[in-house]
Structures are given as C-alpha cells and as structure tokens.
Amino acid sequence: MTEMVYGTVPVHAGEPVLPKWWRTVDRWTLSCVLILFGIGILLGLAASPPLAERNGFGAFHYVQRQAIFGGAALATMFFVSLMSPVMVRRVAVLGFLGAFVALALLPWLGTDFGKGAVRWYSLGFASVQPSEFLKPVFVVVAAWLMAASQDLGGPPGRLWSFMLCIAIVAMLALQPDFGQACLVLFGWGVMYFIAGAPMILLFGIAGLVVLAGTFAYENSEHFARRIDGFLNPEIDPTTQIGYATNAIQEGGFFGVGVGEGQVKWSLPDAHTDFIIAVAAEEYGLLLVIVIIALYATVVVRSLSRLMRERDPFIRLAGAGLACMFGVQAMINMGVAVRLLPAKGMTLPFVSYGGSSLIAGGIAIGMLLAFTRTRPQGEIGDILRARMR
C-alpha cells in the first residue's frame, strides 16, 4: 500500500554493505566529526602533559588514553551508522533500560572522585558516567513514543516521554548535575516542539523550569555558588573561569604559539571542560572559529537532510540528537567565555573523557543512521503530489 501511495525509488540490488553505506551516509557530517577528533588529539598534546606530570604519569599518558577511547568511539559510530532506523530503535530501548537503572543506582554505588557530585562508577582502570550514555538513547526512545502517539489509536506517547524526562531530570538534579539535566530537558523540548506541541504548553514548561531553578538556588549550595559566581561582575583570577578568561584574552586572533600557552599549568580541567581556553590561547580565535563552524555544519547538515524525511520517528530522533549535540558544544564554550554559569560539561569529540567520547560516538552514529538517504519519496515530493 505504501508503494501505491508514495511510489518507490530504484534500489541497487545486491549492493555490498560498505559501498552502500558510503553512498548514502552524510559525508560532510562524518568529515566534521573526524576533524573535531583530530583537533581534540592536537589540543590534548598541549593541555594534558602538565596534568600527567602532576599525577606521576608519562607526558602523553592522557593523550594515549584519549586516542584509545577515541578509536573505540569512532568504531562504535561506524557500526551504529550501518544500522537501519528500526535496529537503532531496538538497540536504544535496551540501552535506555540499562542506562536508566545505572543512573538510578548511582547514589548507592557511584562515586564523586572528590568533585562533590556523584556521577560516576569507578571501574578501577577507568570510570563510567551513565548520564552520557543515557542522553542519546533517551532521545531515540522519546522520539519513538512521540511518533507512536500520532498513530490512530496510538499510546499517549507524549505524556509517557514527558514522565521519563522528568524522572531523568530529577535524578540528575539530585547528583547534582544541573547541566546534563538542562540538556536532557532541552532535547526533549525540541522533539516535543517538532511533534506539534502547543506553544502555551511549552511556555508552561519553561515557567516550571524557572520555578525549579529558583528552588534549587535557595536549597542547593552547589547550584547557588555557581550562579553567584556567574552573576558577580568581578572575576576571581584564581578560579577556573578566571584562568580561562585570561587565556582567551591573551590568545588574541592568532594565539601565542604552539606549546607557549600557560593556562594548562593552572587549570585542573584544561584537558576536559576548559579545553577551548587552551585552543584560544595557543591557536587564537582562528581555531575557535573553525571549531564552531565544524559543530554548526554537523547540526545544519543533519537538520537539512531530516527536513526531507517523511518518517516522523526519524525526523524527531534525528533532530533531537543534532540539537543536543550542538547545544552541548555551545554550553561548553559559553561557560569558558563566561556567557553561561559553570556546568562541568565536555566539548564533544574534543575534550578528554572515555564516557563522553564513546557516548558521542553512539549519538553521532545514530544521527548518521537517521540521515542516510533511503529509497523513499521525499516529504516535499509527497506534498506536491497531493496538491495536484
């Protein structure tokens, strides 16, 4: 029946998997991600030796680990991008169940590594942050529920997705991890908006977020300290924000030179949350603009391809993944230049971190799977045919 209504597009019968993948994948997005990872290794060579020296490791200990984690992330991205949307959805449902349980058990089995927030499981040789893996699979599950609610006699998927979102946000806020909580809520909000949510409801949710933020400010010392630091017009030069701000100013347009930066010796998180400060100091505004352009290209390319997709599940899931990817990068860089309060959020594919890299590989692999060209009539062709 679908072929009678929409028509078909010729398929290359018996085409091998890899040539078919290369023909249908978005090579612009793939190239941008590979370049971002290469930039991350380059910046890791500059930012991580001081930390390795303080911890008694070899100079390139963290760079080697980043290369290993990055290789695993890129391999994961490749294998996930080979999957069909249906297979991605099935894997995401199983992954969501595991990540949700892992997040719920963090208060009893997790650790904070002395940072004041219980976000990780310590495995001895490495650590795992469940929230990083929960984000992409939650987006896919929420998109599936929202798409199912559009079917005649379908389940109340929007309500169920909202309940899941609130449960995840509550668990993240209790860690506390308000940055990831806001990111999850934003991803859900983007999909809900695309699914046709009334504006009055979105404004109501925004009001609830403001009330929740006010409550957190009055009852969480961790949250209040970060907000007060952000609102204070005076920047303490001995804080991470102070060091990062000074490094960005010193870098200028072309930077102070490769290996000549000083902020990496002062910033504890120079290789993770504030790696953009190292880029700005040593390579200048020029490299920062290139990094921003790479993230923007991934988001814009993905959304433009999704606009031609007729499957509501693919449109919703792809848009949620693309927007969450771009906003995470924006938050990380916004914190470094003091446009946003400190969040403790990594820069995707650039910052050091095993959980962040591998979870990013999963997310981009899903996005590549959703944006691959498929044998179907594009939604614009369908609408024009119906208007004739």
Other beta carbons within 10 angstroms of residue 260's beta carbon come to 11
More confident residue, 215 or 169: 169
- Mean local confidence (pLDDT), 125-129: 85
Q: Which helix (H) or strand (E) holds 128?
A: strand 127-128
34 pLDDT band (50/70/90 cuts)? very high
Q: Do residues 265 and 327 touch, judged by C-beta distance below 8 A?
A: no
Q: How far apart are CA 42 and CA 47, in angstroms?
A: 9
- Is the pLDDT at 20 greater than 70, yes or no? yes
Torsion sign across C-alpha atoms 136, 326, 248, 259: positive
388 pLDDT band (50/70/90 cuts)? low
> How does pLDDT run across 196-211, given as a tens digit for each residue?
877 787 788 788 888 8
**What is the per-residue pLDDT for 386?**
53
Two structure tokens written together for 37:
């990872």
**What is the per-residue pLDDT for 6?**
41
- Mean local confidence (pLDDT), 31-58: 91
The residue extents of the domains of the chain are 16-373
Burial classification of residue 47, based on how many CB atoms lie within 10 Å of its CB (0-12 exposed, 13-18 middle, 19 or more buried):
buried
- Is the pLDDT at 379 greater than 70, yes or no? no
CA nearest neighbour of 21 among 104, 79, 91, 75 = 79
Q: How far apart are CA 342 and CA 332, in angstroms?
A: 9
Average pLDDT value for the chain: 88
Q: How far apart are CA 187 and CA 139, in angstroms?
A: 7
> How does pLDDT run across 232-285, given as a tens digit for each residue?
777 777 778 888 888 888 989 989 988 788 888 888 888 888 999 999 999 999
Of 56-70, 130-144, 372-386, least confident by mean pLDDT is 372-386
**What is the per-residue pLDDT for 277?**
92
- Is the pLDDT at 9 greater than 50, yes or no? no
CA nearest neighbour of 280 among 238, 259, 249 = 249
More confident residue, 294 or 47: 294
**What is the per-residue pLDDT for 14?**
65
Q: Do residues 216 and 178 touch, judged by C-beta distance below 8 A?
A: yes
**What is the per-residue pLDDT for 13?**
54
**What is the per-residue pLDDT for 316?**
97
- Mean local confidence (pLDDT), 131-155: 93
Of 24-28, 156-160, 214-218, 249-253, least confident by mean pLDDT is 214-218
Q: Do residues 272 and 119 touch, judged by C-beta distance below 8 A?
A: no
